[in-house]
Amino acid sequence: MNKNKELTFIDFFAGVGGFRLGFERAGLRCIGFCENDKFALKSYKAMFDTKGEWHKDDINTIKSEEIPYADIWCGGTPCQDVSIAGMRKGLSGDRSGLFFKFIELLKGKDEKDKPTFIVLENVKGLLSSHRGFDFTEYLHQISQAGYDAIWQVLNSKDFGVPQNRERVFLIGHLRSRGRREILPIQGENSATLKKVIGGCQGERVYDPNGLSCTLTGCGGGGGGKTGLYFIDQSTTKTKITNNSRCITSRYTAGIVNRSASNSAVLEARAVLTPERINKRQNGRRMKETGEPMFTLTSGDRHGVAIKEATKKGFAEAHVGDSINLSFPNSKTRRGRVGKEIAQTLDTSCEQGTLTENLRIRRLTPRECFRLQGFPDSLFDKARKVNSDAQLYKQAGNAVTVNVAYEIAETIKNSAYK
């Protein structure tokens, strides 16, 4: 392929443009898109310059001859019917079954007009749907359209965003144009400093898997917040995690019974003197486990940031409540909240009080978009045209931008070999 040729792509099942943003960052050019959700479409058009591009709202109404030539067709095909969180109707379901329409459009193209690559994303549950028969059919249909397929499960947390999100990415090569090596793709796993959220020194947030930012001696007030800590938003086996749980379109459901389903944020706002929270104060305000405690004075007050929430759920915890955390390996003991008296101390002493300087809240729509790799500048455009409820749904359905970028880079490099 000519190295001077600009690779083009069409964004099917576009959502809010996770594939698009990742591919454009890699230097590819979008020439068209298709998205049926009217709210996602409003965000998409607000976030990207789509003037003059080919566009259709409903894939069911498209004819193959209407689609302009592009080097790549990409899409996050609907996953609800193959997800373990759904009814698991499989590819025969109304939504996941749209994959067959995508294949029909490919088959309807003359060989010279077919894209060289197709890139599809879906939930990991596709591999096990109907004991694997659905994925077998998936591969068979792609082969019938003239493509050799390779696939890999990629986790967003390995690509620069702190979200545990496993997705199957499948790349099809048009058989008549030869096969190129693209997968496997290796994510980063180094201890370098990774900024997740920008801003001034006191507001920046870094990936907890990397190095911490330098703490200054005069970082009072907002400077006390050196990071946010993810915590399971469930009533069972609640724990703090280094990475957010997978962002889903049902995030607005709130606290759930399933463990490791949703993430909330534990905000630590520790200061030397709580009464002077709006005043600049010198010195570090957070100590790590095992470090010596601050010097006790007659004026300063100190506390402990608890590590986990309790069996009954953090939504019931209030300032001054006694919280027992000593049951991680027990099948019979349960944490108690709001009893107004501490439980008996044992040798582990995993007990503490939720003070006014700690609070647990759900992720904001902006944070969900950040966890998918979208910059705040694009989120602000989407927020102007959609409600928070729709933004949560759109973030949960999106393709992680960072992963899309890595795939586009490997396709681009292989195409020029």
Q: At 231, is the pLDDT very low, low, confident or very high (cuts 50, 70, 90)?
A: confident
Higher pLDDT, 79 or 140: 140
Higher pLDDT, 89 or 141: 141
Known catalytic membership, residue 213: no
Number of Cβ atoms within 10 Å of the Cβ of 249: 17
CA atoms of 85 and 219, how far apart (whole Å): 43
pLDDT at position 334, please? 35
Mapping DSSP to helix (H, G, I), strand (E, B) and coil, where does residue 385 land?
coil
CA atoms of 101 and 141, how far apart (whole Å): 11
pLDDT at position 74, please? 97
Q: Average pLDDT, stretch 266-271?
A: 58
Q: At 323, is the pLDDT very low, low, confident or very high (cuts 50, 70, 90)?
A: very low
CA atoms of 74 and 56, how far apart (whole Å): 15
pLDDT at position 308, please? 43
CA atoms of 46 and 394, how far apart (whole Å): 14
Q: Residue 92 carries which DSSP code?
A: G
Is the model's pLDDT at 398 over the cut of 60?
yes
Higher pLDDT, 256 or 1: 256
Q: Are 30 and 6 a contacting pair, CB within 8 Å?
A: no
- Dihedral sign of CA atoms 412, 413, 416, 417 in order: negative
Q: Are 171 and 115 a contacting pair, CB within 8 Å?
A: no
Higher pLDDT, 184 or 321: 184
CA distances from 213 to 178, 258, 303 (A): 47, 34, 23
pLDDT at position 48, please? 98
Q: Average pLDDT, stretch 276-302?
A: 56
pLDDT at position 59, please? 92
Is the model's pLDDT at 282 over the cut of 80?
no
Higher pLDDT, 249 or 14: 14
CA atoms of 306 and 239, how far apart (whole Å): 10
In the chain, where the domains are located: 8-189+374-415, 304-354
Helices (H), 121-175: 133-144
Is the model's pLDDT at 217 over the cut of 60?
no
| CATH 2.40.40.20 corresponds to the domain 8-189+374-415 | no
Q: Are 205 and 192 a contacting pair, CB within 8 Å?
A: no
- The active-site residue out of 79, 200, 213, 349 is 79
Mapping DSSP to helix (H, G, I), strand (E, B) and coil, where does residue 352 land?
strand
Give pLDDT tens digits for 183-216: 678 775 443 445 555 555 445 555 555 444 443 3
C-alpha 195 chain-centroid distance: 16
Give pLDDT tens digits for 1-45: 556 678 999 999 999 999 999 999 999 999 999 999 999 999 999
- b/e per residue, 81-99, with b = 16+ CB within 10 A? bbbeebebbbbebeebebb
CA atoms of 205 and 364, how far apart (whole Å): 15
Q: At 413, is the pLDDT very low, low, confident or very high (cuts 50, 70, 90)?
A: confident
Is the model's pLDDT at 225 over the cut of 80?
no
Count Cα neighbours of 238 within 13 Å in the Cβ-side half-sphere: 31
Q: How many helices (H) and strands (E) does the chain have?
A: 8, 15
CA 168-171-174 angle, to 5 degrees, is: 155
Q: Are 64 and 109 a contacting pair, CB within 8 Å?
A: yes
Query: 122 has which bridge partners?
Result: 168
Q: At 378, is the pLDDT very low, low, confident or very high (cuts 50, 70, 90)?
A: very high
Higher pLDDT, 386 or 235: 386
CA atoms of 34 and 115, how far apart (whole Å): 16
Give pLDDT tens digits for 152-178: 999 999 998 989 999 999 999 999 887
Average pLDDT, the chain: 74
Lowest-pLDDT choice from 61-75, 256-270, 322-336, 363-377: 322-336
pLDDT at position 386, please? 97
- Which DSSP string do the residues of 196-250 spell out, in sequence order? EE-SSTTT-EE-TTSPPPPPPTT--GGGG----EEEE-BSSS--EESSBPPP-TT
The two three-digit tokens of residue 413, written as one number: 């490099």
